[in-house]
Amino acid sequence: MSNRERRRKLKKFEKQSNGENDEIIRMIKVFAIVVLALVSFYFIFAIYNGEISFGSKEEEKSEVEIQNVKILAGSTFNRIDSEYYVLFYDFEGDYAANCLAIYNLYNQKENHLKMYIVDLNDSFNKKYVVDSNSLVNVNNIDELKVIDASLIKVKNGKAEFVISGNEEISNYLETLLK
């Protein structure tokens, strides 16, 4: 082979390899442009939707509110107050709306005693629930048994009286609101 032929083959080979390199470079450029476009769209929509914001946001300060109205049945007789009511009902049961109304009406009264509520649907409170009014017992925490919709007035850690049943509590509401 002559030098001329070798040079021609070498130039031809260089053109082919440069062509392949150019194709790879073009593909990388296209890929980079697509990625940049997607990232740009993400940032535009993130800014628009509020996921990304520039500047400092003021932190919203809200008062910490401790919920101490809902209690477990096991703490019925050991509240700090010397005299209070405890309203037992299933928060998702048949009497829930009526019991909630009683609770809200009573708490709107001026100079009222504290009223605590107990969710009888809570798994911790299930052992204190009975089906029959004749089985209700509020002598002490070890023997505590109530039916759905029961109201106990506690004075100095002892049950002063109990009202069991939705209708009886509704009737007693008039006395509570005086």
% of the chain with per-residue pLDDT over 70? 87
68-98 pLDDT tens trace: 788 998 899 988 889 999 999 988 888 888 8
Q: Among the CATH numbers 3.40.30.10, 3.40.980.10, 3.60.20.10, 3.40.50.150, which is that of 73-176? A: 3.40.30.10
Q: In the structure, what pLDDT confidence band is assigned to residue 67 with cuts at 50, 70 and 90?
A: low
Helix H or strand E encompassing 151: strand 150-155
Contact 71/85 with Cβ under 8 angstroms?
no
φ, ψ dihedrals at 120, nearest 5°: -75, -10
Four-CA torsion 80, 160, 106, 63, nearest 10 degrees: 10
Domain ranges of the chain: 1-60, 73-176
pLDDT at 66: 59
Per-chain mean pLDDT for the chain: 84
**Residue whose C-alpha is closest to residue 107's, from 71, 69, 59, 163:** 69
pLDDT at 15: 65
pLDDT at 31: 94
Contact 76/140 with Cβ under 8 angstroms?
no
- Tell me: pLDDT of 30 over 90: yes
